[in-house]
Structure 1
């Protein structure tokens, strides 16, 4: 016997839909197993738990599948796997402005390890933080971006930068570059200030798992993705998730 959680899906009909026409197709994706045949697996390593999972079940097309996973020590292979996962999430990219950075450590000593990106608020003429980005860079890209932004360093943040007091970057930049970024999704954030007050009265919106796509040499910082556009993307994502889960309101 395998102990598992129970998921209940909404099957409410929308207006004008005949109940007999409603069909809900569900495919379960298993990624871990914590208890099997009276034996807890909580203290076992993930590798052992996955072996138990694969040995205990068989995939059924359209009904039951194992979640896609890899085990690797190859950084490039892991990054490629993450890129494929991210590319299947948020469809649009955002054009964001690097306004600060954190010094790199270990292999990244001598270059910036991660960057603070911001969207542009047209109404208040300010740059609002939206995420930290430190993945998706090749060594050459890190060197190029660190060198390029190194000439844009300023002693303190601009008065029109909206950043949480708890965030303390090592260096600040003039708003000079625009980076095209793709992310897994957008979420409400108590730290970042993008679109603050539009979707939530006290919180902003941030990006999860942002990855650099390219530098937009054809755009100026004032042409970056706006806070209103960020809010629209978040709302569109929320509506899409609700529709996919069958949770749309009747009215």
Structure 2
């Protein structure tokens, strides 16, 4: 299964924070045994995910699985829990007994809540106990259901956030720049965004490198193609490249190939 092209979310249960964490955590999810069986029966399967620069925690509640990050393959054991940045293509090779509790942060969210800068984790698979307390991880594993696991991690994050109320200038400016890009049809370049933010292009570049780990041009281009491709897959009959700042369909198609390595017509039934 491939992210965006296939609806990989149908394999999971989701929780979206409705409190202060909503600005920092995209979602919390957990594998659904029923949905996984419905989709793959008793067959091993692979989930392929494209770059997003979103720190993501995987707490393993089931059997071992294999994780490919970039060109490196990792064997994730039953008791192993990890964090990855997702700055490159990631593939998770699962058994039908896949059971994973996932926490996906927005860019900069890890630093806002825990004071840990995500840039250091590029192209790595990081043991989760270096990020979260081992006792918390154990309690999450021992919890009886998804709701209890969500309550445990949400309570911990809210408590951590209360101790970090001071606004982070770098993260705030990056977040506002991303918002400005989205609000203006995803077509402003770095210089134009800098003008809107009353900053220089050099400063915008420095802020993105500091918070996310990549220049604004690369991140915003990724953001645009992810949004455009998701829209195209969902409603290709109503899709307009102009809505996402593309000159024409050829421009959009080229960006999809650059981002996914696949041509859209290769994914058509």
> TM-score category by the smaller chain?
under 0.3
Write 1 or 2 for the structure with the bigger share of strand: 1
TM-score (norm 1): 0.27
